[in-house]
């Protein structure tokens, strides 16, 4: 993977390998873990602009960060330009100099509400949202898919609109909304976006190895890559992409558990770390039995004991 710093509206990111916003997973401890393994920029879970407006406690919990994390981007979603701008100006958003706008989420309840990937069908509204968010003074980026389905590919036009509206970087997920996470990445559409704009373009989709990342860069000409689901199975994929030193899976797990315990309540720690351990044992001998034990565990101590058995 060819590493290079990326400048986003005057903000310099150390390299061009990003961690995607992943609902339910990219909390502060996980982002900190991935950054330690080499990720140049990490994103929060997607945050509802309306949730911020109405003071949702769950929404605000997603925005925890501290000085140990360093540069981080927040991703927000919504369909009202004024509410989206207000979210950018919210007190809880202050620690995040970069605000990414989600225009790619394919989840039905988001799409049906006119948010996420639904904005691909309403480019004028998408432009207004970006224009308003830029007025907040934040550096604004946009993550979007190549279209709703294979018959309606909008990548080049949409990329131009986002740049024209004031976006400082775009991330293109090379699959259509109807494919969710299945199917092949459309390299040509990402390449079309790269040719269409002058701002940096990050390619997203199908990166599970250094070879995948190199292929994505070569086929699209993108300025960098974004890693999504692969990081859930192995956060040290960032070591493979950036050359950072690796450590044992047990040490990785213990570090993540410690950081999660420091900032989350016990119930969350147990539920979340059971899920993470289940990802990490995938492909190991006896994985099914370990998973069964993990999901019966009721304390962090039990989870750690099981991890010490399977990751030794």
Q: What is the mean pLDDT of each run of 10 residues along the chain (312 residues)?
A: 96 98 96 97 97 86 91 97 97 96 95 96 98 98 94 94 98 92 91 98 97 97 98 98 96 97 94 95 87 92 92 80
Q: DSSP strand E in 69-136: where?
A: 73-77, 98-103
Let me know if residue 205 belongs to a domain.
Answer: yes
Q: Which domain holds residue 295?
A: 249-310
The tokens describing 118, both together, are 């639904």
Domain total for the chain?
2
267 shares a domain with 225: no
258 shares a domain with 219: no
pLDDT in tens, 116-169: 999 999 999 999 999 999 999 999 999 999 999 888 899 999 999 999 999 999
- Given the residues 34, 42, 72, 105, the one annotated as active site: 105
Let me know: does 193 contact 203? Beta carbons within 8 Å.
Answer: no
In terms of phi and psi (left: phi > 0; alpha: psi -120 to 50; beta: otherwise), the region of 141 is beta
* Among 172, 170, 173, residue whose Cα is nearest residue 181: 173
66 shares a domain with 209: yes
214 shares a domain with 120: yes
How many Å apart are CA 126 and CA 161, to the nearest integer? 8
**For residues 107, 110, 114 and 117, what is the CA-based torsion angle, rounded to 10 degrees?**
-40
293 shares a domain with 184: no
DSSP state of 147: B
142 shares a domain with 270: no
How many Å apart are CA 222 and CA 155, to the nearest integer? 14
Domain boundary among 217, 242, 267: 242
């007025």: which residue's tokens?
Answer: 135
265 shares a domain with 203: no
How many Å apart are CA 49 and CA 29, to the nearest integer? 23
Question: Which pTM was predicted?
Answer: 0.95
Domain boundary among 214, 242, 270: 242
Active-site annotation holds for 42: no
65 backbone dihedrals φ, ψ, rounded to 5°: -155, 170
Non-local CB neighbours of 134 within 8 Å, separated by 6+ positions: 140, 165, 166, 167
Query: What pLDDT, on a 0 to 100 scale, did the predictor assign at position 128?
Result: 98
Let me know: does 38 contact 238? Beta carbons within 8 Å.
Answer: yes
Let me know: does 17 contact 238? Beta carbons within 8 Å.
Answer: yes
């993470």: which residue's tokens?
Answer: 276
Domain boundary among 222, 242, 262: 242
The tokens describing 122, both together, are 């309403």
192: three-class secondary structure by DSSP? helix
CATH number of the domain encompassing residue 88: 3.20.20.70
174 shares a domain with 80: yes
């Amino acid at each position: 993977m060819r590493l290079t710093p990326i400048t986003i509206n005057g903000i310099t990111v150390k390299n061009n390998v990003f961690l995607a916003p992943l609902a339910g997973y990219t909390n502060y401890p996980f982002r900190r873990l991935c950054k330690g393994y080499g990720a140049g920029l990490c994103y929060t879970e997607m945050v509802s602009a309306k949730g911020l407006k109405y003071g949702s406690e769950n929404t605000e919990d997603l925005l925890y960060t501290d000085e140990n994390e360093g540069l981080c981007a927040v991703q927000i979603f919504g369909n009202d330009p004024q509410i989206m701008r207000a979210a950018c100006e919210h007190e809880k958003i202050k620690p995040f100099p970069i605000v990414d706008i989600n225009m790619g989420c394919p989840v039905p309840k988001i799409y049906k509400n006119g948010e996420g990937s639904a904005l691909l069908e309403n480019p004028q509204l998408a432009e207004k949202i970006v224009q308003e968010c830029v007025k907040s003074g934040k550096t604004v980026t946009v993550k979007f898919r190549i279209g709703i389905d294979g018959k309606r590919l909008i990548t080049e036009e949409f990329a131009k609109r986002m740049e024209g509206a004031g976006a400082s970087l775009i991330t293109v997920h090379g699959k259509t909304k109807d494919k969710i996470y299945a199917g092949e990445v459309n390299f040509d559409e990402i390449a079309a976006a790269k040719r269409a704009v002058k701002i940096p373009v990050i390619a997203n989709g199908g990166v599970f190895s250094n070879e995948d990342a190199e292929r994505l860069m070569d086929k699209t000409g993108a300025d960098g890559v974004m890693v999504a689901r692969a990081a859930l199975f192995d956060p040290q994929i960032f070591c493979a992409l950036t050359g950072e030193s690796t450590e044992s899976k047990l040490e990785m797990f213990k570090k993540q558990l410690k950081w999660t315990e420091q900032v989350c309540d016990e119930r969350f720690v147990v539920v979340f770390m059971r899920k993470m351990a289940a990802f990490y044992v995938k492909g190991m001998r006896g994985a099914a039995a370990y998973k069964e034990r993990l999901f019966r565990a009721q304390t962090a101590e039990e989870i750690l004991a099981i991890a010490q058995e399977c990751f030794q």
